[in-house]
Amino acid sequence: MNQSRKAYVLISLLALSVGVLPFVIPSPYIIGVMCFIAIYGALALGQAVLMEHAGVFSLAHPSWFGIGAYITGIAAVRGVPHLLAILVAAVFVAILAYIMGAPLLRLRGYYLACATFCLLIIIEIVIGNMTSLTGGHEGLLGISPLAIGSFTFEGDRHFYFFSWGLCIGTFWFLYNLMNSRVGRAMKSFNDSEATSMCMGVNVPNYKLKIFVITAVMASLAGSILCFWLRFIQPSMFGFPLLVELITIIIIGGGKTLIGPLLGSFIVMWMRELIHIYLGRVLPVMTAEIDALFFGIIIVVILIFMPGGLAGWLEQLIFIGRRVRERFAGP
Amino acid sequence: MTFLSQIIQYVISGITSGGIYAVIGICWSVVFLITQVLNFTTGEFVMLGGMLTWGFHGAGMGLIPASLLAVAATICIAIVMERAAIRPVRYPSEMTYMMLTIALASVIKGGVLLKWGSETRTIDPFFGTNVLHMFGATITPQVICVIAFLVIVTVGLSWFFNYTLFGKALRASAVNNTGAKLVGIDISKFRLFCFGLAGGLGAITGIVTAPITFTGYEIGLLNGLKGLVVAIVGGWSIIGTVIAALVLGLLEGFCAGFISPGLKDVFAFLVMIIFLILSTYRISSVFKEKYHEPE
């Protein structure tokens, strides 16, 4: 079986199991958590491709998510048709990411990370201070339920299919992208920028392209989150979300595309467990408390399991193959 | 209040916050130059200093023993952190270090939030609350304390790095790590020392500023980042950092006074982004070497 057919089998298996799940287990709680897994999975996929495949260490990814959510929310509150609102948010984020990315991506390593980290903080503060437009720190309320044409999304099951549709679509798109000319170019300049420039790869152009593409994906995920929760707050898109995203990528392993989805699955369920079992013991339960546990997990995994879960599985498969070869004999 | 006294008031508050940023910036650069780790927990050390002093003071200790204990505890935390979390990483790269220290920062922050809750705290000023008047503006003794602390740190560290054998060895290992190892300098001890120094200085900063600006579990992020801004703009040197910090503090003071207090924080980060972007355009060869180096 060749590589691409294997991937299609994997994607269709994933889509099948996701599609069957709400009919097998009709619990609204589990479906709700699965929605979160899909949204964060799509977000983490973009961040992982940006960080580990293209070598662009941008920390401003949660901001695109937040801006997408806010523009969709504000447009929906003002009565703009919802599909149009989502499109407007995506186009606006694309333009903003292009304008910000063009000068920022000239930086490298630590300096790129510092600049984008500042961008993250700036956007959170600005959203919090534009009270008349965004509702300030109290959050944006009064978003009407998502309606496309005459079809209204109500209940978690509709959003379940919508968000998983986005998530699997993102996965499929990025899989094809990484196995195309663009993806191979990105892999090459992640390994050695000087060499790939000598081979004629237009590195800044590719970096900017992947930056804008992942920003648009984050914006789409933000739009879904906005319509699903129907309430958004600036603190949802700040530092704690960044720590959560890094945890997802580290746990799952960012070198493969299935890693962030695995990581998202584990981290979201872990968050639920923390909330259920520790919520009784601890006095306060905020995103910062989650970040405490996630921080410990990041440190432990970086020290003991640097490839993440996907890397570990790959190693296991490799060892298994070696053992089988050894015992099969010539 | 006249216009002149208003301006003097802004200058005083600007110099105070500039002094705070300068010390935090020195904490960043001490760790960064010797270990190549961009230590995002620097801001949390500042927070820890203030909060631990508040905690020990609340447990019935005097102010001075409480602050000494807080500084010692922060130094211990910094050293343990370096030993237990940062050194054992298997494939150290810029990205790994950064994720690691961001994670550690959120651990410290979450721990303090769990222990002491999210209210803002304050500790009593060390030298009473008698206010000095100057051209109609008011100065509290605590502000003078901050400025004195900045001067002591700057002069002390400059002397230490330039005139003692240990300090010279530290500078040597910052310039060339491998070379320093070859002439017999024990780098791993220096890494511990640098983290300890950053922790101690950060904690003292937190204690000195707690009576003025209040302390709480969330002050670490913004203060730490502004320290990073001045360290980068100042080119990682002590004197550059101090100048950048004072300029940033003054600009921020005027921005808060004349434009909007809410956008004061945005301003500092905007300065950093613009500076970094400009530094990639070849203004001078120094910048090019420093910020655009190949990997």
Classify each residue of B240-253 as buried b or exposed e, where b means 16 or more C-beta atoms within 10 Å of its C-beta.
bbbbbbbbbbbbbb
Question: What angle, rounded to 10 degrees, do the helices at A28-48 and A3-24 form?
Answer: 150
Pick A109's closest partner by Cβ from B90, B94, B103: B94
Q: How far apart (Å, rounded) are the C-alpha atoms in residues A162 and A153?
A: 9
Domain finish residue from A209, A235, A261: A235
Q: Are B250 and B15 in contact (CB under 8 A)?
A: yes
Contacts of residue B266 in chain A, CB cutoff 8 Å? 122, 125-126
| Closest A-chain CA to B105 | A295
Helix axes B42-58, B187-213, angle to 10 degrees: 60
Which of A116-125, A273-282, B277-286 shows the lowest per-residue confidence on average (mean pLDDT)? B277-286
Chain B, 223 to 252: residues with Cβ < 8 Å from chain A are 225, 228-229, 232
Q: Tell me, yes or no, whether A41 and A156 share the same domain.
A: yes
Give the chain A residue nearest B98 (alpha carbons): A110
Q: Which of A64, A97, A321 is nearest to A209 (CA)?
A: A97
> Looking at beta carbons, which residues of chain B come within 8 Å of A114?
38, 228, 232, 272, 276
* Shared-domain flag, residues A270 and A221: no
Tell me which residue in B85, B107, B118 faces A292 most closely, judged by beta carbons. Answer: B107
pLDDT tens, position by position, A136-185: 788 888 788 887 777 777 777 888 888 999 999 999 899 989 889 988 99
Residues A183 and A34 both lie in one domain: yes
Question: Residue B286: which residues within 8 A CB-CB, separation 6 or more?
Answer: B235
Q: How confident is the model at residue B288 (pLDDT cuts 50, 70, 90)?
A: very low
The structural domain count of chain A equals: 2
Residue A57 to chain B, least CA–CA distance (Å):
7
Using a CB-CB cut-off of 8 Å, the residues of chain B touching A113 are 38, 94-95, 98
Quick one: A162 and A229 in the same domain? yes
A71 plus A210 within the same structural domain: yes
pLDDT of residue A264: 93
Question: If DSSP states are collapsed to H, E and C, what string results for B132-158?
Answer: EEECCEEECHHHHHHHHHHHHHHHHHH
pLDDT at residue A19 in the model: 82
Task: Choose from B99, B113, B221 for mutation: most chain A CBs within 10 A.
Answer: B99
Give A196→chain B minimum CA distance, Å.
13
Identify the CA nearest to A212 among candidates A53, A42, A56. A56
- Segment A80-105, tens digit of pLDDT: 888 999 999 999 999 999 999 999 99
Task: Give B292's pLDDT tier (boundaries 50, 70, 90).
Answer: very low
> pLDDT at position B5, please?
82
Q: What is the pLDDT of residue A72?
A: 93
Say how far apart CA A303 and CA B62 lie, in whole Å. Answer: 40
**Portion 141-180 of B in contact with A at CB < 8 A:** none
Specify the pLDDT at position B180.
87
**How far is B17 from B147, CA to CA, in rounded Å?**
10
Given a cut of 90, whether residue B210 has pLDDT beyond it is: no
Same domain, A227 and A327: no
Domain that holds residue A287: 238-330
Task: Give the gap in angstroms from C-alpha A139 to the nearest C-alpha of chain B.
Answer: 17
Residue B171: strand, helix, or coil: helix
- Chain B: give the shortest CA distance to residue A270, in Å: 16
Q: Are residues A168 and A297 in the same domain?
A: no
Does the beta-carbon distance from A104 to B88 stay under 8 Å?
Answer: no
CATH number for domain B3-291, candidates 3.40.50, 3.30.70, 3.90.580, 1.10.3470 = 1.10.3470
**Under an 8 A CB cutoff, do B90 and A298 touch?**
no
Q: How many CB pairs under 8 A join A and B?
A: 140
In B135-274, the DSSP E strands lie at: 137-139
| Over residues B3-19, mean pLDDT | 86
Residues of A in contact with B263 (CB under 8 A): 125-126, 129
A107–B276 C-beta distance less than 8 A:
yes
Question: CB distance from B113 to chain A under 8 Å?
Answer: yes
pTM for the whole structure: 0.89
Contact A320, A266 (CB under 8 A): no
Bridge partners, B171 (sequence order): none
- Check whether residue A289 and residue A179 sit in a common domain: no
- Secondary structure string (H, E, C) spanning A271-300: HHHHHHHHCCCCCCCCHHHHHHHHHHHHHH
Which pair of tokens denotes residue A229? 């929760």
**In this structure, are A190 and A283 located in the same domain?**
no
Residues A37 and A108 in one domain: yes
Q: Which of A183, A211, A235 represents a domain boundary (last residue)?
A: A235
**Domain segments of chain B as ranges:** 3-291
> Does one domain contain both A108 and A251?
no
Domain termination site, one of A235, A267, A286: A235
Confidence of residue B294 (pLDDT cuts 50, 70, 90): very low
Do A226 and A300 reside in the same domain of the chain? no
